[in-house]
Amino acid sequence: METRMETLPAAIAEAEGLDRFVHPVLRLADRLVADPRVGDVLRGTWLGHPLHPMLTDLPVGFWTSAFVLDLGGRRFHGAADAMVAAGVLSALPTAAAGLADWRERDTADRRVGVVHAAANAAATLLYVGSLGHRLRGHRVRGVLLGMAGAAAATAGGYLGGHLAFGSAPAAESDAPATESPAAAVGAVDQQGAALAAMAQGA
């Protein structure tokens, strides 16, 4: 029996109203990878696997470190602020790589991807606000905004996990079905008969 969390991505994937957001983002993605060399870099062609999932570890790691350092008291304030700033900076290339991958998805995945991107954009903006308050000496506000950013990033990460592990790119999902076991056995039988005929004629 599926839980609500398991059915959430499916509900988002079927929400046709999201298409009004998908289309402008798709135009942005097209411009981003207009140069094939840029597209190859962002999609991780040079790595042999997608670049985006690897890059997500950077903002998540920096922001998680900031959360832990905030618990350590005044002596860790500078380090926590540096981690927030590093997370914001690393979110930019991460988003670009994700956009390049998202462009290759089918309509359903693009809808989920738009919500995923919105959650991560909200997280990034919250951390930008957090950093601003921290630098102005408004420590409590900065930490609270950071916590809100962590919540938004968690929601975005959940949908990102669905895209990475719960679905397949359009090129794979649209591929023709593989042969049935019976058809495969028939092909083997035909090859065996042909080999037997060749052996008898030799």
Tens-place pLDDT, residues 152-163:
999 999 999 989
pTM for the whole thing?
0.77
Predicted confidence band at 116 (pLDDT cuts at 50, 70, 90)? Answer: very high
Q: Which domain holds residue 72?
A: 9-201
With a CB cutoff of 8 Å and minimum separation 6, the contacts of 93 are 55
Number of domains in the chain: 1
Predicted confidence band at 3 (pLDDT cuts at 50, 70, 90)? Answer: low
Tens-place pLDDT, residues 71-108:
998 999 999 999 999 999 999 999 999 999 999 999 99
Assigned domain for 4 exists: no
Predicted confidence band at 4 (pLDDT cuts at 50, 70, 90)? Answer: low
Tens-place pLDDT, residues 44-72:
988 888 899 999 999 999 999 999 999 99
Mean pLDDT of the chain: 84
